[in-house]
Chains A and B, each alone.
Chain A
Amino acid sequence: MENTPSDLGLAARVTHLGKTYGSSSTAVTALDDVSIGIRRGQFTAIMGPSGSGKSTLMHIMAGLDTATSGRAWLGDTEITGLADAALTVLRRRRIGFIFQAFNLVPTLDVRGNILLPFALDGRKPSTTESTWIDQLIESLGLTDRLTHRPHELSGGQQQRVAIARALATRPELVFADEPTGNLDSRTGREVLTLLKAASIGYGQSIAMVTHDPVAAAYADRILFLADGRVVEDREKSSAEEISGIMLGMEQRA
């Protein structure tokens, strides 16, 4: 009898995951027998150089892409083989997203963007949810910005709106794809501090894809990918240690 992912304290899990692009003659292997679990309540960083497969891994775990082989779960729900409609509802209700750029819908104001997951579900937030959202808006310093459009905000402010939106439904897992990629280093640190605070303060599970050692140093655990395989699994590390590991991977390649 197999243990369910939640028995193991996992928010998400993949086993023997493989992904190849293209036909047999020109096939490119993006993922090769990857098995990992994202622990509940932790801030996990997925690191690796360009082309290591880290983005593909995230896309499959988030139900945005399909695997060629292997299985994936979100909580206790196996998502491999789910139809598009089911995956869509799953993303809407159980997953939060923060992207590198183009995070917000330009025609909606800040409040509209934060409440978008509820609007997509065709419902209004309940009283408890509203209290939670107000608290988020307050702690992210967005109270004065609620009626602003995305183009009236700085990059850092836009990313804070995206964080508020991602946390608004209290999803089981938040995926962040290079969330500091388009920000200057000071604003980037602010965003990372906010993500860390969400993990510590609210027990929010977060999986962040990045190639920046400074960003990964904010995480509780760091998974290293190279050539579509997991090559290292470290607990909290300093930016120097992470850089060292990355450099070692480069030299071995």
Chain B
Amino acid sequence: MSARTRARRNDHAGRGASVLVAALASAFGVVLLEVTSVMTTVLNAWGVTDMGSVRITLTIVAALFIAIAVYVSAIVTTNTVATIIAGRTRTIALMRLIGSSARAQRRAVATDGLAVGAIGAVAGAVAGILLGFVGLQILVATDVLPDLAYSLIQPVLAVPVIVVVVSTWAAAWAGSRRVLSVSPMQAVGAAEERSVEEVTRRPRRARIAILMMGSGVLLLLAGVAVGQASPLGVLIGVVGGILSFSGLVLGSHLIMPPVLALVGRVLGSSAPARLAAANAQRHPERSARATIGLVIGVTLITMFAVAGSTMEVIMQRTMEDPEARAGISESVSVTLAVISVLVGFSALIAAVGMVNNLAQSVLQRSREIGLLRALGFTAVQVRWMILAESLQMAAAAVAFGLVLGVFYGWAAAEALFGWSVEGSGIVAPAVPWLLVVLCVVGTVLLAVVASLVPARRAVSVAPVTALAAV
């Protein structure tokens, strides 16, 4: 397989992942708005008065979760585009060499992003509408929902579609920043990916990230303290939470590599494990982008779960009546289950991004894998190396998200409810064991699934690949 065919296949794989991500986000938005509409219709039929505020509340909740999904998918798309461009440096350099301007090259990438976003968003919307229609038919047929005049297709469904198209376009534009730094000379020389040092040296971004994280955590703790006495605590806490988490995402290229290194050490010291650990860290920005979506997803799920359980502990301190306790327990677990599914969808989008990142990285490393095969790496060792890499990324993201989520969830519960219960004091965060089990199982599952295709590709690399002239 020539370098050019490889590059083209590379692009196709990346574009496919971007279409899938856009489709998932758009389908999610459409289904969520449909569910909102169905719930409103049902509540209306039940004779709930004050429909205006119910509709607004439901729409705000739906909008919040759609925003999370769109945000995660934008990060995933930015990452995918940046990764494709890293692998296409030589082609871009060649175009520059024969006279194409960097701006024109970048515009081509962004236009491509617009097309990908449009195709994905429309396909997702169609799938979402079909899903909503079929789901509703089943629920009505099984008497779960009353047979009412539901209106599934509404103008508002266009909103998530447009948002996804625009965000994919913007993400492609942001991800294509590197095109500007490709020099025509790179077409002549042997161009490799930029070195670790070149990519990470960004003092201004690092300073802003640290400032945001530091002040955010301080505000969050202040929120917890104020929350013990006054309902205002939660407002301070929310600002602190958003600030610190945004700082964390901004500085992920500084934070994720050490987390990855820590997890990598657990994998052992065999040659495949050590190479996998080094691979996961060789492009810190790229691994950070590949994993940060998953970190966000897991943090949110954990945050809601821990906040709910901790809140339950605070409330139950003052309740003697076992029936009231059971009531709280049940409503908390139902709410948590719904929220987990909603946030879980964003985690799924993030997982698609991680899988794609690993696949791209293997494609771009054909020569290196060929070298290892020539020097005596068996197919089994190559397979294990890819799996270890996948395991390292998934475990680092999930473990980090779990830790962050426990902290945020605990802070949220204390800031929200600390004051409402006289003398409850500060309680320890309550971590539902089911969540931890699900996270561990999810990590292993994701890692194995993510490594299947890349591992097969890696094993199929002929050792002769390494011997070919550049």
Give the complex CA separation of A178 and B469 in angstroms: 9
Cβ of A102: which chain B residues have Cβ within 8 Å of it?
Answer: 367-368, 371, 466, 470
Cβ of B127: which chain A residues have Cβ within 8 Å of it?
Answer: none
Cβ of B192: which chain A residues have Cβ within 8 Å of it?
Answer: 106, 151
Give the complex CA separation of A101 and B375 in angstroms: 14
In the complex, whether A89 has a CB less than 8 A from a CB of chain B is yes
Cβ of B464: which chain A residues have Cβ within 8 Å of it?
Answer: 59, 64-65
Q: Which of A116, A120, A182 has the most CB of B within 10 A?
A: A120
Cβ of A64: which chain B residues have Cβ within 8 Å of it?
Answer: 374, 462-464, 467
A99 and B372 contact, CB distance less than 8 A: no
Name the contact of A122 in the complex, choosing from B190, B271, B371, B463 (C-beta under 8 A). Answer: B271
Cβ of B467: which chain A residues have Cβ within 8 Å of it?
Answer: 55, 59, 64, 99-100, 177
Which residues 85-144 of B sit at the A interface, judged by CB distance below 8 A?
none
A88 and B368 contact, CB distance less than 8 A: no
Give the complex CA separation of A99 and B466 in angstroms: 8
Cβ of B368: which chain A residues have Cβ within 8 Å of it?
Answer: 102, 105-106
B120 CB, min distance to chain A CBs, angstroms: 34
In the complex, whether A1 has a CB less than 8 A from a CB of chain B is no
Cβ of B372: which chain A residues have Cβ within 8 Å of it?
Answer: 105, 120
A92 and B470 contact, CB distance less than 8 A: no
| Per-position 1/0 for A121-163, Cβ under 8 A of B | 1100000000000000000000000000001000000000000
In the complex, whether A231 has a CB less than 8 A from a CB of chain B is no
Name the contact of B378 in the complex, choosing from A88, A100, A151 (C-beta under 8 A). Answer: A88
Band of interface residues on B = 20 to 34
Name the contact of A85 in the complex, choosing from B278, B279, B379 (C-beta under 8 A). Answer: B379
Cβ of A178: which chain B residues have Cβ within 8 Å of it?
Answer: 469
A110 CB, min distance to chain B CBs, angstroms: 14
B377 and A101 contact, CB distance less than 8 A: no
In the complex, whether A218 has a CB less than 8 A from a CB of chain B is no
Name the contact of B282 in the complex, choosing from A84, A89, A107, A182 (C-beta under 8 A). Answer: A107
Cβ of A20: which chain B residues have Cβ within 8 Å of it?
Answer: none
Give the complex CA separation of A101 and B274 in angstroms: 23
Give the complex CA separation of A151 and B379 in angstroms: 27
B379 and A117 contact, CB distance less than 8 A: no
Cβ of A85: which chain B residues have Cβ within 8 Å of it?
Answer: 378-379
- Chain A residue nearest in CB terms to B280: A107
Cβ of A181: which chain B residues have Cβ within 8 Å of it?
Answer: 469
B466 and A119 contact, CB distance less than 8 A: no
| Per-position 1/0 for B452-469, Cβ under 8 A of A | 000000000011101101
Give the complex CA separation of A85 and B373 in angstroms: 10
In the complex, whether B381 has a CB less than 8 A from a CB of chain A is yes
Give the complex CA separation of A181 and B367 in angstroms: 17
Q: A99-B466, A122-B271 are in contact. List 6 more A-B contacts (CB 8 A).
A: A64-B374, A65-B462, A102-B371, A105-B275, A107-B279, A182-B470
Q: Residues on A close to B: CB < 8 A?
A: 55, 59, 62, 64-65, 84-85, 88-89, 91-93, 97, 99-103, 105-108, 116-117, 119-122, 151, 165, 177-178, 181-182
The 9 A-B pairs of least Cβ separation, nearest first, read A92-B376, A107-B278, A119-B271, A91-B376, A88-B378, A64-B463, A101-B470, A120-B376, A64-B464
12 A/B residue pairs, CB under 8 Å, sorted by A: A64-B374, A88-B373, A89-B378, A92-B377, A93-B376, A99-B466, A105-B275, A119-B271, A120-B375, A120-B376, A120-B377, A122-B270
